[in-house]
Amino acid sequence: METTRTTTRKPFDLDQVIYLLDGKYPITLRQFFEGVQIFGGIGSGKTSGSGAAFARAFLKAGFGGLVLCAKKDELATWQRYAEETGRSDSLLIFDASGKHRFPFLQYEIEREGEGAGYTENLVRLFMTVHEAISRRSGTGSSDPYWSSAMQQLMRNAIDLCMIARGTLDVAMMHQVVRSAPQSIAERDDSKWWEKSLCAKLISEAHPKKLDKWTEYDLDTTVSYWLDEYPTISDRSRYNRSVFASGIRGAVFH
Ligand SMILES: Nc1ncnc2c1ncn2[C@@H]1O[C@H](COP(=O)(O)OP(=O)(O)OP(=O)(O)O)[C@@H](O)[C@H]1O
Ligand SMILES: [Mg+2]
């Protein structure tokens, strides 16, 4: 039924020809989805030759996608491709200006499927993002003590936000850590209870009707914030710069 297939072609028909290699050898959508590998020595024209030709063909064919820009001029290159193929309106740029953001924790909480919103998965996701950023900026510490102390801090910040509000983002976690009691005296001060987000979330979580496991998690996290955290020495308290993060890239939609 070859004729039927060609006449009733859907926009993303896998047999659609996306590019003619050397002007004569067809490459179909299916073949592109199966993977493309461009070989060549350093500076041999991989990006400006085959790379550019395929990128334009993808954009012309209406593809969406995520382009990660490791090289400095990569964004300008893709802006040019978008212009040349009439796709400038589809370009969303994620950069330090913060015009667009990807709320990765929110996404992990709300996504379909098993394990969504689990504290351990959120901790792992946060740690992965943090490690990638600190590797890039060279601010990371390879000491396993810090890594485990940080995971404990993150786990407790996540549990507190999730139990009290059912959601969280990086700014909220940051605020919980910033407003956590720095000493037993501060914890016992009524001013701290009035002003601190950490205290507010503890007060919000307590009256909630919770199942026995969540109740257990809440007890653990409350005792971390009220008993353990105020007694850790200043030196070993976690470095808050973890929250100053940025991920660059461009997305076509
Ligand atoms: N056929 C060609 N003739 C002359 N110059 C070319 C040709 N193809 C590419 N160049 C030039 O060579 C330089 C390197 O090309 P390009 O960046 O595409 O290589 P690459 O293989 O992607 O390199 P890298 O390995 O660094 O990613 C560019 O300045 C490009 O304009
Ligand atoms: Mg290249």
Closest CA to 29 of 66, 62, 68, 67: 62
Q: Which amino acid is at 211?
A: D
Q: What torsion, rounded to 10 degrees, do the Cα atoms 134, 103, 161, 166 define?
A: -150
User: What secondary structure does DSSP assign to 209-249, as a single string?
Assistant: ---HHHHHHHHHHHHIIIIIGGGS-GGGSPPGGGG-----E
H or E, element range at 122? helix 119-137
How far apart, in whole angstroms, are the C-alpha atoms of residue 141 and residue 107? Answer: 27
Look at residue 246 in the predicted model and tell me its pLDDT.
41
Which residue CA neighbors atom 8 of ligand 1 most closely? Answer: 45
Cβ proximity of 107 and 247 under 8 Å: no
Contact 101, 92 (CB under 8 A): no
Return the ligand 1 atom nearest residue 71 CA. Answer: 27
The whole-angstrom separation of Cα 182 and Cα 233 is 9
Q: Are strands 91-94 and 17-21 parallel, antiparallel or unpaired?
A: unpaired
73 lines ligand 1 (CB under 6 A): no
- Prediction pTM value: 0.66
Torsion angle, alpha carbons of 227, 170, 119, 217, to 10: 30
DSSP string, 157-172: HHHHHHHHHS---HHH
pLDDT the model gives residue 142:
60
Q: Tell me how far the alpha carbon of residue 42 lies from the centroid of ligand 1, in angstroms.
A: 8
Does any ligand 1 atom lie closer than 6 A to the CB of residue 166? no
- CB of 64 closer than 6 angstroms to any ligand 1 atom: no
With a 6 Å cutoff on the Cβ, whether 49 touches ligand 1 is yes
Q: What pLDDT is recorded for position 236?
A: 58
Q: Which residues make beta-bridge pairs with 17?
A: 28
Ligand 1 mean position to 90 CA, how many Å?
Answer: 27
| CA separation for the pair 67, 60 (Å, rounded) | 16
Quote the pLDDT of residue 243: 53
- Cα 123 from Cα 31, distance rounded (Å): 37
- Nearest listed ligand to the Cα of residue 49: 1
The verdict on the CB of residue 77 being under 6 Å from ligand 1 is no
pLDDT in tens, the chain (253 residues): 344 444 455 778 999 999 999 999 999 999 999 999 999 999 999 999 999 999 999 999 999 999 999 888 999 999 999 999 999 999 999 888 878 888 889 999 999 999 888 999 999 999 898 888 777 666 655 667 667 888 899 999 999 999 999 999 888 999 999 999 999 999 999 999 999 999 999 999 999 999 999 999 999 999 999 999 999 866 556 554 455 444 344 455 4
Q: Name the token pair of 137.
A: 């900026």
For residue 247, the one-letter residue type is I
| Sequence ranges of the domains in the chain | 2-99, 104-244
In short, whether 60's Cβ falls inside 6 Å of ligand 1 is no
- Which residue puts its alpha carbon closest to atom 26 of ligand 1? 43
Instruction: Give CB contacts under 8 A, 24+ apart, made by 24-32.
Output: 29/61, 32/58
